[in-house]
């Protein structure tokens, strides 16, 4: 039985003016390696607020995370962009830095056809010697790929798996069984246990920046056949996720990180800047789940 993989979706620290804060990014990486003991980091994804960064900022984030991790854990660079030229440039940049894996969100907004989506992935990978995870997140992109479409994308041998952020468990079961050798990582933290039951290889998530030790214990319990313990741990995590969402999850993740001793700065506008109420909510979350 192979150990399930735990990846944190790396946050990007910003100052109040929306500039990236490289020291904050380094501190987050250190915490994920030293305290959370994650297997890897997913860099420049949704949690990294990457769709609000320019190309140079994305490169700085990728380089800073790569340098700080210094080969200690796996790294996945999310390079997807509506600007295919940028996606290609980032794929080359991350590959040249040494990132062992890439990922790219399905292109969104323009209702691209499947043929166009397939060309996008093949184009991103054409000139780079690297592997890629499809980032499938239909709730935010509107792009819901079918099992047959995943099969067509997997015809490209560089496409090695899926970051599956989708509440469709019927599809997950179909995809898992159709592609037993592909890497499938579950992306909804609150649905990890049912995803484990369908034999995903592990998970990637935002809340693991705070909650990785509890999630590791849940995955270990699941692997050991102690489903009751796994369920109890998922229940605590889901109470925490419910509280995070109620308090506005992205800014609150950073506020709770501060209580854990890591200054991750604030989120980037137009995301909400912390209010006194939000700060009080974050303190309560820290005290309830992490003290
Ligand atoms: O950064 C990333 O791209 C992610 O890993 C995203 C991840 O799937 C998160 N999804 C979003 C939209 O942020 C989840 O970790 C999510 O925050 C969590 O399950 C709470 O809903």
Residues 138-187 pLDDT 10s: 999 999 999 999 999 999 999 999 999 999 999 999 999 999 999 999 99
The string of pLDDT tens digits covering residues 91-141 is 999 999 999 999 999 999 999 999 999 999 999 999 999 999 999 999 999
pLDDT-derived band of residue 2, with 50, 70 and 90 as boundaries? confident
CA distance linking residue 89 with residue 213, whole number of Å: 35
Q: Where are the domains of the chain?
A: 5-224
Confidence (pTM): 0.98
Pair 104, 135: CB distance under 8 Å: yes
Pairing outcome for strands 159-164 and 131-136: parallel
The string of pLDDT tens digits covering residues 224-239 is 999 999 999 999 999 9
Structure tokens at 182: 């592909």
Q: What pLDDT shows up at residue 197?
A: 98
pLDDT-derived band of residue 1, with 50, 70 and 90 as boundaries? low
Looking at every residue in the chain, the average pLDDT score rounds to: 98
CA-to-CA separations, 255 to 185, 190, 207, 213, 265, in angstroms, rounded? 27, 20, 12, 19, 8
Specify the residue with its C-alpha closest to ligand 1, atom 5. Answer: 205
Task: Tell me, using a 6 A CB cutoff, whether residue 40 lines ligand 1.
Answer: no
Pair 66, 5: CB distance under 8 Å: no
CA distance linking residue 173 with residue 137, whole number of Å: 16
Q: What does residue 145 show for φ and ψ, rounded to 5 degrees?
A: -80, 150
Structure tokens at 40: 């890897």
Mutate to test the pocket of ligand 1, among 52, 206, 234 (most ligand atoms within 8 A of CB): 206
Pair 124, 91: CB distance under 8 Å: yes
Pair 150, 134: CB distance under 8 Å: yes
Pair 77, 62: CB distance under 8 Å: yes
Task: Tell me, using a 6 A CB cutoff, whether residue 204 lines ligand 1.
Answer: yes
Could you count the other beta carbons within 10 Å of the beta carbon of residue 198?
Answer: 17
What is the ipTM, given to two decimal places?
0.98
Q: Quickly name the fold that domain 5-224 has.
A: TIM Barrel (3.20.20)
The string of pLDDT tens digits covering residues 200-218 is 999 999 999 999 999 999 9
Q: Is 53 helix (H, G, I), strand (E, B) or coil?
A: coil
Average pLDDT value for residue range 55-66 = 98
Q: What pLDDT shows up at residue 279?
A: 98
Average pLDDT value for residue range 59-84 = 98
How many Å lie between the centroid of ligand 1 and the Cα of residue 187? 6
Task: Tell me, using a 6 A CB cutoff, whether residue 36 lines ligand 1.
Answer: no
- 135 catalytic per annotation: yes
């Amino acid at each position: 039985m192979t150990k399930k993989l735990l990846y944190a979706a790396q946050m990007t620290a910003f100052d109040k003016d929306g500039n990236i804060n490289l020291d904050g990014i380094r501190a987050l990486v250190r915490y994920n390696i030293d305290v959370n003991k994650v297997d890897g980091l997913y860099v420049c994804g949704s949690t990294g607020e990457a769709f609000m960064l320019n190309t140079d900022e994305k490169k700085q984030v990728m380089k800073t995370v790569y340098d700080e991790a210094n080969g200690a854990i796996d790294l996945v660079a999310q390079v997807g962009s509506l600007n295919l030229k940028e996606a290609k440039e980032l794929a080359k940049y991350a590959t040249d830095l040494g990132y062992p894996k890439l990922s790219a969100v399905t292109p969104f907004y323009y209702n691209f056809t499947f043929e166009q989506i397939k060309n996008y992935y093949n184009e991103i990978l054409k000139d780079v010697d690297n592997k890629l995870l499809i980032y499938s997140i239909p709730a935010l992109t509107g792009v819901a790929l079918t099992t047959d479409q995943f099969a067509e994308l997997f015809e490209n041998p560089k496409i090695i798996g899926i970051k599956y952020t989708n509440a469709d468990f019927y599809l997950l079961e179909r995809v898992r069984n159709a592609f037993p050798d592909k890497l499938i990582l579950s992306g909804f933290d609150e649905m990890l246990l049912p995803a484990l039951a369908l034999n995903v290889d592990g998970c990637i998530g935002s809340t693991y920046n705070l909650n990785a030790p509890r999630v590791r214990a849940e995955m270990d319990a699941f692997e050991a056949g102690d489903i009751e313990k796994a369920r109890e741990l998922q229940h605590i995590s889901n109470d925490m996720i419910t509280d995070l969402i109620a308090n506005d999850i992205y800014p609150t993740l950073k506020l709770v990180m501060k209580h854990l001793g890591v200054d991750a700065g604030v989120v980037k506008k137009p995301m909400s800047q912390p209010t006194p109420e939000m700060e009080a909510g974050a303190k309560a979350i820290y005290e309830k789940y992490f003290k």
